[in-house]
Amino acid sequence: MSGIIELAGLALVIGGALFFTAGTLGLIRFPDLRSRLHALTKADNLGLGMLLAGISLLLGSWTAAAVLGLTWILALGAASISAHVLSGIEARQQGEP
């Protein structure tokens, strides 16, 4: 049983790293601000969630899982609010209503 949990944890960590890589690639290669924000908020936060889930599985404690889950929710909030503010500033700079 513990072998399956460890395997699942490792798979989640590696999957999270892959999502982070995809998000960074999108940040570098996308043409304008809005699509880069898509890459940052969606791919990076999903990668962070998988990474934290894998870490809590490998640690094997419910307290750690709760604290890491709270960290993920805070990171989600921060990323989405920052994306909202950044796109609003860019819209104002480009003269849209």
Partner 1 sequence: MTSPTEPALAGIPIADVILGIGVLASVLCTIAPRSRFAQSMGLLGLGVLTTLVWLRLDSVDVALAEASIGGGILAAILVWISTKAPSNPSPDAAAPTRWTWVRPAVGTLCAVTLTVILSSVWLRAEQALPAWDASLSRNMEATGVEHEITGVLLVFRFYDTLLESAVLMLTGVAVLALGRGDAGARAGVDVSFAARPPIPSTLQWFIRVIAPVLFLAGLWLLFAGSSDSGGAFQSGAVLCAVLILLRSAHIPMVTLTRRWLVPLLVAGVLAFILSALTHLSAPFPFPVLLGVEVLLTLGIAAGLYAIYLSLENPA
Site residues (vs partner 1, CB under 8 A): 74, 77-78, 81, 84-85, 88-89, 92
Q: Closest CB to partner 1 among 1 and 96?
A: 96
Q: Is 94 helix (H, G, I), strand (E, B) or coil?
A: coil
- The CB-of-84 to partner 1 minimum distance in angstroms stands at 6
Nearer Cβ to partner 1 (7/67):
67
The answer to whether 47 and 19 are in contact (CB under 8 A) is yes
In this structure, what are the phi and psi dihedrals at residue 96, rounded to the nearest 5 degrees? -75, 155
CB of 67 to partner 1, least distance (A): 11
CA distance 1 to 5: 7
